[in-house]
Structure 1
Amino acid sequence: MKSYRQEKSARIALAIGASAIALGIGAPAFAQDEGADTANAPGNNVIIVTAQFREQNIQDTPLAITAITADAIEAKSQTNLAQVADTAPNVAIRPQGASFGPSVTASIRGVGQNDFNPAYEPGVGIYIDDVYYPQLTGAIFDLLDVERVEILRGPQGTLTGRNSAGGAIKFYSKKPNGDGSGFLEASYGSRDRISLRGAADFGITDTLAMRVSGVFKEQDGYVDRIDYGCENPTSGIPATTSGNCVLSKLGGVGYEALRGILAWTPTDRIDLTISADYVKDERTIAGEVLLRTGPVWNPSTAVNGVTLSDDFVCGKYCNYSTTGQPGVTADFIFAPGSVLEPTSGTDRSKYKGWGVSANLSIELADWIQLTSITGYREFDTEFYTDDDLTPINTNFGRNFLANESFSQELRLNMEPADGVNITLGGYYFEQDSVYDSFQDIRYVPVFPLQFRQPDPTSADAYALFGNLSWELTDALTLNAGLRYTDESKQQTYYRYNLDGVTINPWLDLIGAVYGEGYSGPDTLDVNGNGDTTDIVTALSGLTAKYSADRLDYRVALDYRWSDSFLTYVSVATGFKGGGSNPRPFNPGQVISFQPEKVTAYEIGFKSDFANNRVRLNAAAFLNDYTDLQVPVLACPDSPCAARLNAGDVEVYGFELELTAEPVDGFNLDASLSYIDQSIDADSLDPSAAVPPFGNNPAGVDPGDPPNVPKWKFNVGAQYRAELGNGAGTITPRLDLYHQAKQYSGPDTSGATRGRTFLPSFTTLNGRITWSNADEDLDISLEVTNITDEYYYLSRFNLLGAGAGFDKALPARPREWAVSVKKRF
């Protein structure tokens, strides 16, 4: 019989041998969590997270992480992902304007993505119960029955893999326990806001439980869409209605979601959770406002001689957008007298999505556990855009996007000895998308651009990972991991006329003459240069392919000076995938771009003091980016919206988070963050760009980091007061949020290059809640944006491309709501 020492040595040898076989390719760290068993003890202030794929006290996790519990989410009147992100330092999740449909811009520490096109990859990984959500479309999730939200800042290349260069956001649903509990909540508020929420948890057998939850929300919009001709009858613009000139209210809410989770525990070593959800989001489009206009190169966009001008700047909460463009005969430089077909749509946005997942955990032995996570999700969306927000006929679009994805992850978690934890695993992901865009672009003066582009994009990736966490001493822990990722993507282009059948010769002359998918000699001399041997390629049927592999690593040391003070230092890498330009107007604009890579250095501490009544965490970081992906608005021969690898950037900053309960019942939370960047001018190599871009092609700006403000802070306070005599409690709460001005992109509309910003703002939210003595009934009054601050969530400037507009999405004005919640 083996001795304990021999058995322990054999386990270590087996685990290290398995690591060597897997080439040490790794991910999640395992740190000891001696405090987990007392997580719910009074006064311990313990929050359990799974950021490193195991249960850990957040104060034992050597990562910059914000964890928001369900109670905190409710207390702050937060209902969606964007509101939660406001409380996390150096994190920005914002809804996009109408031109980008029901999507978000997501950024952590200045790294992210603002274009929903499936050809691009997000820089922030979003996960629902450990299943990756691959797109920005539909990502403004409602916080339906969540247990907590974890926001991991900094690259998570070894922990969550690709497209988490900025960080990761993870939602965790409340799991069934079969105790018969549940709740119902109803709300009514501003602009006929109606909200219903509920959940029920029940046992089916001794080993099988189920939890069902749902939400229904409706609210009128806050931006008036006005008939310009009706409001200005002498303008020369024809009216489309009479009487009330307000055609609709934009920025409305129409959200429904349902989720079911089934938990089966046949033995104490097997745990299976199956979940399914359905979301329907149908509403008026985002309510944007026009800020300013500029020259439009094509005079044929005018309506009855009225051209685009600042006369169409409506005001704070209104615009003059239309739902289509009429058929006309227009003059273009190369196509005078062109007949343009009428195009039409609606002012509504539609999104439907559903998903299923299975999480199976098997404890193979006391020291080894196998976990399998399988997920499938699909969605489709439809939205229409009148980009200039006026009746002038510059452009109009109809957009349809369908996406489906599948992922499978296996993890083997081992604890062969005290203080030694090893994880090995593999991951596979695939997705297919079709972005069917129907565009009527009239501001370009060269030739007519009415076309349909039903472009399919497919992508897949696999990874092998492993991680070793080793307590070198009682106080010092080493985490070291590697992850190997291999990914590929391909996109096929089609440029049809509006009939969706014939090829548009203005965008794809070779395809129109020789047929879809042609690549060969120009025997008919379509180029007109007298050479019939030139090799030419049709844009329609052309497939752009991308592939790359990547080895990411993470090394971290943390030292616990005492039970209440931990310091850590880490270096980690990550990347955002590459691809090809999804919006070419000719084969020459099929421009590829490579992955954006980051190496991040971080130092921080986590502390609890004053008998665990005060918690202060801090982190400072330096992110070294190479091959930064940046957008350009001009390509050879005509406008486009491509990506290029434009240089190297260093992003640096710091973050502070504070929570405190100085006296019983009084809670305080706050955060502060700062971020800045510097650009290596020598890295802006003009040879890396497509002529005629030259040096600094897209306007990489040394002054301000994109997608996130330099300074950001929030402070929240609440006090729970006992009313006495069995009358229950009353809890007032206030939350103050400030954001400095935020760089939103270059401004190339003038003679010299400038910059555009989202102005700084400060908002104040309030909530007061009465709870009965049994704590099963709450009545709350909430007011958001108490001071009625006017500010912008996003901005879209296409003046430099000749489209003639600079517009923004204003945030919601002051709103109130009354809620009643009953627990059972």
Structure 2
Amino acid sequence: MMNRLRLRSRASLLVASVSLFTIAAATPAVAQDENPAGTETETAAAQDTSGQAEQEILVTAQFREQRLQDTPLAITAIPAELLEARSQESLVEVANQAPNVTLRQQGASFGPSIGASIRGIGQFDFSPAYEPGVGLYIDDVYYSALTGANFELLDLERIEILRGPQGTLQGRNSVGGAIRLITRRPDADGGGYVEATYGSRNHIGFRGSASFTITDGLYARISGTARQQEGFVDRIDYGCENPGSGVPAQRPAGDCRVSRHGGVGYTAVRGQLRYNPSPDFDLLIAADYTRDHRTIAPEVLVAAQDPGNTLNIGPAFGPQFICGRYCNYSAFQQPAIVWAGPAAPGVPLIATSASDESTFEGWGISANLDVGLADWVQLQSITAYREWNNEFAADDDLSPSNIGLGQNQLDYWFWSQELRFNMELADRLDITIGGYYNDQRTEYFTLQDIRYAAIPLQFTYFPGRDPVNADSWAAFGTAIWNPIDPLTVTAGIRYTEEHKDYTFYRANPDGSFNPFLGSLTGVVGSFDGDRVDYRLSVDYRFSPEVLVYATTATGFKGGGVGPRPFNPAQARGFGPEVLTSYELGIKTDLFDRRVRFNVAAFYSEYDGIQLALLSCPQFGGPGPCALPQNAGDAHIQGLEAEIFARPVDGLQIDGSLSWIDFEYQCVNIAVVRPLNPGETDECSSDPSILGGLGERPPALPEWKWSIGIQYEIPLGGGTLTPRLDMSYNGATAGGVTSGGFSLPSWTVANARLTWRDEDDDWQVALEVTNLFEEYYYLTSFDLRGAGAGFVKAQPGRPREWAVTVTRRF
């Protein structure tokens, strides 16, 4: 407790110190501000008088073009040039430099999906039964699934990460925050680039884009990328590697590697057609296609113990199958047997096998229409349709033992429509009103051959008949009022209605009735809910250098039905989670705008937290569990700081720091243990109940920081720019309940050396990622509490190098 109080005191002292420093540094008077918040901004170049125009960032987080420093939101804005300088190629890599943001490529059991969390709020399960919690947008088009969401950073203008509840200005309600990817639009300037990459483990990549004019006012742009690379975790044939072990070899002696997990096989193309005959009419039609075919996510076994099942088939599971830092012994096959357990002895189980490759294939089309209906009103329409198919499998125990093997296939489509009216009702009053609707359907096929359980569980079989339907509609509005030059008040409101239904189908693999869960076949679980959310923000510009803002906002994530009941008692629903957030922030431009420093402190009340229990004997006895429940309520507080500095011409420094404190206020008793006779389920603050859950949710580090430094060296006929980036991620919990496997902290450094010719037509870059060969884990999956006896983890990528040659035209 004393340590926690000290941390809070230090955080409060830091906020106060920063406030005094930034206000003191703001030497010009307020009356001298010729560009107050809430008014139209000049171009970055026109405002800049110190030769630092390239550091200015314009954002559209409030759907008006504003300077980053004029926007009263906690935003991390990353221009394309900085993404390139950091050698970042995919979305999850961006989180390393974003305060209190966690993006993770998930492990093999979750397929090619990501986990996303902002300020401790998000989602890490790909199942369509859940809502993401963090909104992902590409050119204002909402992407509703975590599957396939680790986008390649292709032909972007910038990325905006908005922290805190969003929704009164756009699309889908996002309780944790939103991530907006803004692509480069075709225009009359034309141009483009092509580049080629070669690097470690036969890393071969090509990407490029080109923009051209078809006729006056009609433009097109096409961009594409293709990358291939061998994996870095070896899948080894255990019998071949260990002759005499009693495990039959599947490969000849001396050639024991079956494949390499963690490979890359990504291809994507996007085309855009833009009709812009006048400033009052802009129509952008975009279409994209993605194919991601690779070996599954790289995982290693970190703990193993015999689960004590009674099958007596194949090698006993144990620590002998812990292969090493970058290898595993997964077999991806289980033989046909006759069940010998105490429940239903004699039940035959068929042989199962699967591939260790994952395939994602998807496409989408969208239309963004922007029309000036009058001098004071603008209409924006965003229409989109997306469809994808995903197939993957996982040998969860990473060994030749018969513990568990899962096969999965998802077929998905999504349609959305959004309308917004942006109005200038007076010189000092802007209003946005809008509406949003989406319709979504997913069909989920899976065959889970789980043999560590006390009953024969090779039954979770959905032959294309497990539909999940979801739809949502909302109306929202925001008013931005500038009563006097230095003061702006922003108020927003949103009404949302959501529906989701999940139809269960449970049968044996041959389609016959399953005696354990057959009663679930045809059962429909559903969730219907509505909610009013709001945002109120006040910002005050003390001087051209200092903006201070205070915000309160609410958000929610809809409830649903647990998609994976392993017994009838686990066929349970869960309710929505709700967040109320309070934030204080300072944005500064100091020392003739050579230093940009932003800091935000927040406090949130988080109720009805949705957590997936991997052990739940209180719901149906021992055995597998993957049950989402409303675990309880918590308070979250944190601090975030970002800096961008150019102390001298050519030298650039950027960094971030975040701290977050998560504390359960109460925990629902039935989530951590069975109810005692006469006891009712309630949210209890009893220490013995609070201790049943981990101190904080998974993937939530208490501390994060990053630092990057580069210096552009003139060479006479070009420039040479060395750059070094370092990022730190604190230790995180690996599971929901206490006592689970935790992921240690890690620090990773990347280096890059870039040469550009005098006209910036040619560029050659040498990059080395994970420069100091840090060994660390990104994710883990601990099923010891469920009786499986193992913990597996996904290591981060080892040191890699690559050379990239770029030609711009």
**Alignment of 1:365 onto 2:374:** yes
TM-aligned CA distance change 1:341 to 1:546, over 3 Å: same
TM-aligned CA distance change 1:629 to 1:160, over 3 Å: farther
Deviates more, 1:592-601 or 1:177-186: 177-186
**CA distance in structure 2 between the aligned counterparts of 1:559 and 1:237, rounded to whole angstroms:** 71
Aligned to 1:17: none
- The structural deviation recorded for 1:53 is 1.7
- The structural deviation recorded for 1:33 is 3.6
- The structural deviation recorded for 1:745 is 1.6
- Matches of residues 664-675 of structure 1 in structure 2 within 5 Å? 664-675=649-660
Contact 1:282–1:350 at 8 Å: present in 2 too?
yes
**CA distance in structure 2 between the aligned counterparts of 1:121 and 1:676, rounded to whole angstroms:** 24
User: Normalising by the residue count of structure 1, what TM-score does the alignment of the two structures yield?
Assistant: 0.89
SS of alignment partner, residue 156 of structure 1 = coil
**CA distance in structure 2 between the aligned counterparts of 1:734 and 1:344, rounded to whole angstroms:** 45
**CA distance in structure 1 between the aligned counterparts of 2:506 and 2:731, rounded to whole angstroms:** 40
Aligned to 1:413: 422
**CA distance in structure 1 between the aligned counterparts of 2:136 and 2:673, rounded to whole angstroms:** 31
The partner residue of 1:731 within 718, 721, 729 is 721
Aligned to 2:712: 720
Aligned to 2:436: 427
**Alignment of 1:252 onto 2:263:** yes
Contact 2:310–2:341 at 8 Å: present in 1 too?
no
TM-aligned CA distance change 1:367 to 1:569, over 3 Å: same
Deviates more, 1:154-163 or 1:119-128: 154-163
SS of alignment partner, residue 229 of structure 1 = helix
Aligned-CA RMSD value: 1.8
- The structural deviation recorded for 1:677 is 1.1
Aligned to 1:172: 182
Aligned to 1:275: 286
SS of alignment partner, residue 82 of structure 1 = helix
**CA distance in structure 1 between the aligned counterparts of 2:652 and 2:724, rounded to whole angstroms:** 11
Contact 2:447–2:458 at 8 Å: present in 1 too?
no
**Alignment of 1:142 onto 2:152:** yes
Aligned to 1:788: 773
Aligned to 1:132: 142
- The structural deviation recorded for 1:705 is 4.4
**CA distance in structure 2 between the aligned counterparts of 1:768 and 1:687, rounded to whole angstroms:** 52
SS of alignment partner, residue 569 of structure 2 = helix
**CA distance in structure 1 between the aligned counterparts of 2:671 and 2:265, rounded to whole angstroms:** 49
Contact 2:694–2:739 at 8 Å: present in 1 too?
no
**CA distance in structure 1 between the aligned counterparts of 2:560 and 2:295, rounded to whole angstroms:** 32
Deviation string, structure 1 residues 1-34 (Cα, Å, up to 9, x no partner): xxxxxxxxxxxxxxxxxxxxxxxxxxxxx93342
Contact 1:39–1:48 at 8 Å: present in 2 too?
no
Aligned to 1:353: 362
Contact 2:336–2:348 at 8 Å: present in 1 too?
yes
The partner residue of 1:599 within 575, 580, 603 is 580
- The structural deviation recorded for 1:241 is 1.0
**CA distance in structure 1 between the aligned counterparts of 2:300 and 2:180, rounded to whole angstroms:** 33
TM-aligned CA distance change 1:116 to 1:39, over 3 Å: farther
- The structural deviation recorded for 1:217 is 0.1
Aligned to 2:42: 35
Q: For residue 596 of structure 1, what is the amino acid of its counterpart? A: E
Deviation string, structure 1 residues 386-444 (Cα, Å, up to 9, x no partner): 00000000111110011111110000110021121001111101100011111111111
The partner residue of 2:274 within 259, 263, 275 is 263
Contact 1:162–1:576 at 8 Å: present in 2 too?
no
| Unmatched tracts of structure 2, length 5 or more | 1-36
The partner residue of 1:65 within 38, 63, 75 is 75
**Alignment of 1:445 onto 2:454:** yes
TM-aligned CA distance change 1:88 to 1:572, over 3 Å: same
Q: For residue 222 of structure 1, what is the amino acid of its counterpart? A: F
**CA distance in structure 2 between the aligned counterparts of 1:386 and 1:31, rounded to whole angstroms:** 55
Aligned to 1:23: none
The partner residue of 1:294 within 288, 305, 315 is 305
**Alignment of 1:614 onto 2:595:** yes
Aligned to 1:105: 115
- Matches of residues 435-584 of structure 1 in structure 2 within 5 Å? 435-453=444-462, 454-499=465-510, 501-508=511-518, 538-584=519-565
The partner residue of 1:397 within 394, 406, 419 is 406
Aligned to 2:744: 759
Deviation string, structure 1 residues 76-127 (Cα, Å, up to 9, x no partner): 1000001111110000101111011001111111111111010011111111
TM-aligned CA distance change 1:689 to 1:623, over 3 Å: farther
SS of alignment partner, residue 734 of structure 1 = strand
Aligned to 1:534: none
Aligned to 2:90: 80
SS of alignment partner, residue 204 of structure 1 = strand
Aligned to 1:533: none
**CA distance in structure 1 between the aligned counterparts of 2:640 and 2:152, rounded to whole angstroms:** 26
**Alignment of 1:661 onto 2:670:** no
- Matches of residues 46-57 of structure 1 in structure 2 within 5 Å? 46-57=56-67
- The structural deviation recorded for 1:699 is 6.9
**CA distance in structure 1 between the aligned counterparts of 2:420 and 2:754, rounded to whole angstroms:** 43
Q: For residue 609 of structure 1, what is the amino acid of its counterpart? A: L
**CA distance in structure 1 between the aligned counterparts of 2:556 and 2:312, rounded to whole angstroms:** 43
Contact 1:199–1:211 at 8 Å: present in 2 too?
yes
The partner residue of 2:238 within 216, 221, 228 is 228
- Matches of residues 769-780 of structure 1 in structure 2 within 5 Å? 769-780=754-765
- The structural deviation recorded for 1:584 is 1.4
- The structural deviation recorded for 1:36 is 4.3
TM-aligned CA distance change 1:357 to 1:569, over 3 Å: same
Deviates more, 1:281-290 or 1:170-179: 170-179
Q: For residue 594 of structure 1, what is the amino acid of its counterpart? A: G
- The structural deviation recorded for 1:688 is 11
**CA distance in structure 2 between the aligned counterparts of 1:475 and 1:301, rounded to whole angstroms:** 76
Aligned to 2:11: none
Deviation string, structure 1 residues 603-652 (Cα, Å, up to 9, x no partner): 01000011110000000001111111112232324532111112110111
- The structural deviation recorded for 1:294 is 2.5
Contact 1:491–1:543 at 8 Å: present in 2 too?
yes
SS of alignment partner, residue 632 of structure 2 = coil
- The structural deviation recorded for 1:756 is 2.5
Q: For residue 563 of structure 1, what is the amino acid of its counterpart? A: P
- The structural deviation recorded for 1:588 is 3.3
**CA distance in structure 2 between the aligned counterparts of 1:687 and 1:183, rounded to whole angstroms:** 54
TM-aligned CA distance change 1:481 to 1:690, over 3 Å: farther
Contact 2:172–2:436 at 8 Å: present in 1 too?
no
**CA distance in structure 2 between the aligned counterparts of 1:575 and 1:678, rounded to whole angstroms:** 19
- The structural deviation recorded for 1:162 is 4.6
Aligned to 1:627: 608
Contact 2:349–2:458 at 8 Å: present in 1 too?
no
Aligned to 1:750: none
TM-aligned CA distance change 1:185 to 1:144, over 3 Å: same
Q: For residue 739 of structure 1, what is the amino acid of its counterpart? A: N
User: Normalising by the residue count of structure 2, what TM-score does the alignment of the two structures yield?
Assistant: 0.91
TM-aligned CA distance change 1:549 to 1:700, over 3 Å: farther
Q: For residue 366 of structure 2, what is the amino acid of its counterpart? A: S
**CA distance in structure 2 between the aligned counterparts of 1:465 and 1:177, rounded to whole angstroms:** 32
**CA distance in structure 2 between the aligned counterparts of 1:456 and 1:697, rounded to whole angstroms:** 36
**CA distance in structure 2 between the aligned counterparts of 1:437 and 1:699, rounded to whole angstroms:** 34
SS of alignment partner, residue 803 of structure 1 = coil
- The structural deviation recorded for 1:690 is 7.3
**CA distance in structure 2 between the aligned counterparts of 1:147 and 1:71, rounded to whole angstroms:** 9
**CA distance in structure 1 between the aligned counterparts of 2:548 and 2:40, rounded to whole angstroms:** 16
Aligned to 1:799: 784
Contact 1:87–1:714 at 8 Å: present in 2 too?
yes
TM-aligned CA distance change 1:393 to 1:685, over 3 Å: closer
Contact 2:339–2:456 at 8 Å: present in 1 too?
no
